[in-house]
Amino acid sequence: MDEEANPIKDYLFDYIKNSQTIPELISQKKFDLVIGEITCNCYDKIVTMDQKDIAVGVLATGILHYLLTNALLNSQRKVEFRGIELDVVVPDVKTLEKDSKMSLIICIPKSSDKQIIEQKISQLEKIQPVKENIWVVLSENMEIGKRTFVLSKEDSSFSKIIFEIAQFSNVNGANKFKILRI
């Protein structure tokens, strides 16, 4: 998917732009509360805008892009590597190629079909041999043998993802600035 207009992303970024509290939460590095606020106020509307799995995937991608930028965490999104489209790579594909232990791939399948998700993971394992460095964002909880983050209104583990990425970056030395001291 290219960067063409997307009503879900437009809705998300309009909400962020008009929020009174998000800039303050960002300045305090309370990324989990930002995700909580967005989920609480946008989730219901966004899941009516497309199939739930697709809508949640677009929402997760938009939130991640926004927060990774604001957290000053190096990442690339929507990049192709060895013929496979990657949703998010931390810090970048150059590092993935040079030292896979230092790279994290975050997969955001726009599906809740376990078979489709497992196929995507199997593709990713061909380019990221460090299996625990493949994380998956889902619209509902399921066991897929990977570190998962669920973006939902009720039971959202997604709110911790920025801190987990920062911790990964700090531990692996990918975050040269050590912005988030965790």
User: Could you report the per-residue pLDDT of 24-56, keeping only the tens digit for each?
Assistant: 999 999 999 999 999 999 999 999 999 999 999
Measured CA to CA, the distance from residue 143 to residue 124 in angstroms comes to 17
Q: Determine which of 3-7, 15-19, 105-109, 128-132 has the lowest per-residue pLDDT on average.
A: 3-7
Query: What pLDDT, on the 0 to 100 scale, is given for residue 178?
Result: 46
Q: Determine which of 5-9, 135-139, 152-156, 177-181 has the lowest per-residue pLDDT on average.
A: 177-181
Supply the CATH classification number for the domain 7-171: 3.40.91.80
Measured CA to CA, the distance from residue 98 to residue 104 in angstroms comes to 13
Q: Report residue 172's pLDDT band, with 50, 70 and 90 as the boundaries.
A: low
**Angle between helices 31-46 and 52-70 in degrees, nearest 10:** 150
Q: Report residue 177's pLDDT band, with 50, 70 and 90 as the boundaries.
A: very low
Measured CA to CA, the distance from residue 9 to residue 60 in angstroms comes to 10
Measured CA to CA, the distance from residue 69 to residue 177 in angstroms comes to 13
Give the single-character DSSP code of 101. G
CB atoms closer than 10 angstroms to residue 175: 21
pTM of the model: 0.89
Measured CA to CA, the distance from residue 103 to residue 55 in angstroms comes to 27
